[in-house]
Structure 1
């Protein structure tokens, strides 16, 4: 029988531990110094074309080739983390749609299949693909991981972008912010465009904001929040218990679990391909 030693909660998201520190830190240096307001606009225009019909399960399997360089907690192919998250939700009897969100929440990382080193959306260069996201177009908060890299962003020298409000209005709502480009926003937009998508609003919020740690964990960006965003915060904190604390070296059996999740996928996303 395989024995897995569970980590204490305080041991997760430790960005100053062991051999991984240099690689993770370099990832965030690139991300913070290159993800500008203009870059985000270019990536949206380039990648949100919805012209690649692909099967969800095929995309899941292709994540076997991707290890998230920004993650200090798990050095395994990303599809394993998706199964761990979904199974954690299933074990506690959470709704089937939430189990589905757990299963697919990082599926936007499959953007690496048609990404590029230049954009930071490839297997080798992931600074436009993975990692904690932050708002662009306004001042970077100290709640960003490695806040010492904030000053490296060219937008920090632009007066328009270097205030607490930046290009936004007070209370404009999180949905009106431009966030750093990555797998969250990409998958959210893909699902939003998918005609057969029946995932509840709460699930779509979980997809879109689960990596927005400077907000949901760091307490930043309150100047933009609405009453609805307070509900968003509750949803994200609920979901992130499973996203974070189910990470483990124990590897779930993909082929064994797939028959359970197939009808749930069909219920909320239909039978046809999804356009990426």
Structure 2
């Protein structure tokens, strides 16, 4: 039985979308009618009201034992086929096809980085939370840190946080909130959703992937950071060194038109060597296509990667 979860608001409305992506955006998620945008706004309003320090800590406790289900990676991929978005006007095919499309796009651009191919397959598997009964606003959408004042590039920032109780708490309502300057994103409490859940699940199950993989999974929806340029006051040098990998995953290149512009990279606090990442096709954003991959043919290759980095039956 399919579960219609509605559109992922992070794809329906994003005011800071890359201009190059925007040129082709008309082909994807082309929602112009008021009612759908109202629904997207309502989703973010719910998210930005209820995602608090207390809520996120409770979710870590609730799901941190990873006792929801025992299954392999490919069983989880197949499980997400029950989350076909029946309101999506672009496509009507299972989520597993998007997972394989993303992975194959990365494989084509980075044939020597098999761990990156696997990340393409893994990145959205945390959406099994919907099948565990979690509401959409606690699973999908752009992410942000809790425990500090939201920054300007958070979607609907000016109109959705008024009822969030943390912003009335002096511990959490300043720019730094409960954090120290440049404490590192590893020490930041991100809002709860499929990114954070999957990141924690990978750690719990001791995936033998490189640190870049964990960064991509945890922060691929953190648009205010990798796209908006905000939350730099929380970043360590390690975070800034990892940032281009997240941008590579999302856009196929470092974000913001900064390729080849030294002044832009200095503005991010990134080393010039970050420019060594190649420009290539976009992997996660707008990869949906009617040209579906032959999943049966691809499965043996990805099973090999799973056996290498995260074998067997895992705890979810």
Same fold (TM over 0.5): yes
Match of 1:18 among 32, 39, 45: 32
Matched, 1:275 2:315: yes
Separation in structure 2 between the aligned mates of residue 71 and residue 144 of structure 1, nearest angstrom: 24
Match of 1:190 among 184, 188, 201: 201
- 1:217 and 1:105, CA in 2 relative to 1: closer, same or farther beyond 3 A? same
Query: In the alignment, which residue of structure 1 is the partner of 2:301?
Result: 260
Query: In the alignment, which residue of structure 2 is the partner of 1:228?
Result: 238
Judge conservation of contact 1:33–1:154 (CA < 8 Å) in 2: yes
Judge conservation of contact 2:154–2:224 (CA < 8 Å) in 1: yes
Match of 1:243 among 284, 293, 305: 284
Aligned residue for 2:181, secondary structure, equals coil
Aligned residue for 1:244, secondary structure, equals coil
Q: For each residue in 1:160-180, what CA deviation from the matched residue of structure 2 results, as whole angstroms up to 9, or x when unmatched?
A: 211001011111011111011
Query: Given the two structures, how large is their TM-score scaled by the length of structure 1?
Result: 0.86
How far residue 255 of structure 1 moved from its aligned partner, in angstroms, is 2.2
Separation in structure 2 between the aligned mates of residue 146 and residue 209 of structure 1, nearest angstrom: 19
Q: For each residue in 1:14-39, what CA deviation from the matched residue of structure 2 results, as whole angstroms up to 9, or x when unmatched?
A: 99942442332222121111111110
Separation in structure 2 between the aligned mates of residue 56 and residue 231 of structure 1, nearest angstrom: 29
Matched, 1:36 2:47: no
Query: Given the two structures, how large is their TM-score scaled by the length of structure 2?
Result: 0.76
RMSD, aligned CA: 2.5
Aligned residue for 1:161, secondary structure, equals coil
Separation in structure 1 between the aligned mates of residue 73 and residue 81 of structure 2, nearest angstrom: 14
How far residue 69 of structure 1 moved from its aligned partner, in angstroms, is 9.5
Separation in structure 2 between the aligned mates of residue 165 and residue 68 of structure 1, nearest angstrom: 37
Separation in structure 1 between the aligned mates of residue 56 and residue 89 of structure 2, nearest angstrom: 25
- 1:76 and 1:142, CA in 2 relative to 1: closer, same or farther beyond 3 A? farther
Match of 1:112 among 124, 130, 150: 130
Query: Higher relative contact order by CA 8 Å / sep ≥ 6: 1 or 2?
Result: 1
Judge conservation of contact 1:27–1:69 (CA < 8 Å) in 2: no
Separation in structure 1 between the aligned mates of residue 188 and residue 288 of structure 2, nearest angstrom: 30
Aligned residue for 1:110, secondary structure, equals helix
- 1:212 and 1:12, CA in 2 relative to 1: closer, same or farther beyond 3 A? farther
Query: In the alignment, which residue of structure 2 is the partner of 1:140?
Result: 150
Match of 1:164 among 172, 175, 178: 175
Separation in structure 2 between the aligned mates of residue 177 and residue 74 of structure 1, nearest angstrom: 36
Structure 2, gaps ≥5 residues long: 1-19, 252-282
Separation in structure 2 between the aligned mates of residue 69 and residue 171 of structure 1, nearest angstrom: 42
Query: In the alignment, which residue of structure 1 is the partner of 2:279?
Result: none
- 1:77 and 1:25, CA in 2 relative to 1: closer, same or farther beyond 3 A? farther
Judge conservation of contact 1:15–1:21 (CA < 8 Å) in 2: no
Query: In the alignment, which residue of structure 2 is the partner of 1:181?
Result: 192
Aligned residue for 2:79, secondary structure, equals helix
Q: For each residue in 1:204-226, what CA deviation from the matched residue of structure 2 results, as whole angstroms up to 9, or x when unmatched?
A: 11111111111111111111111
Query: In the alignment, which residue of structure 2 is the partner of 1:27?
Result: 43
Query: In the alignment, which residue of structure 2 is the partner of 1:9?
Result: 21
Separation in structure 2 between the aligned mates of residue 159 and residue 230 of structure 1, nearest angstrom: 28
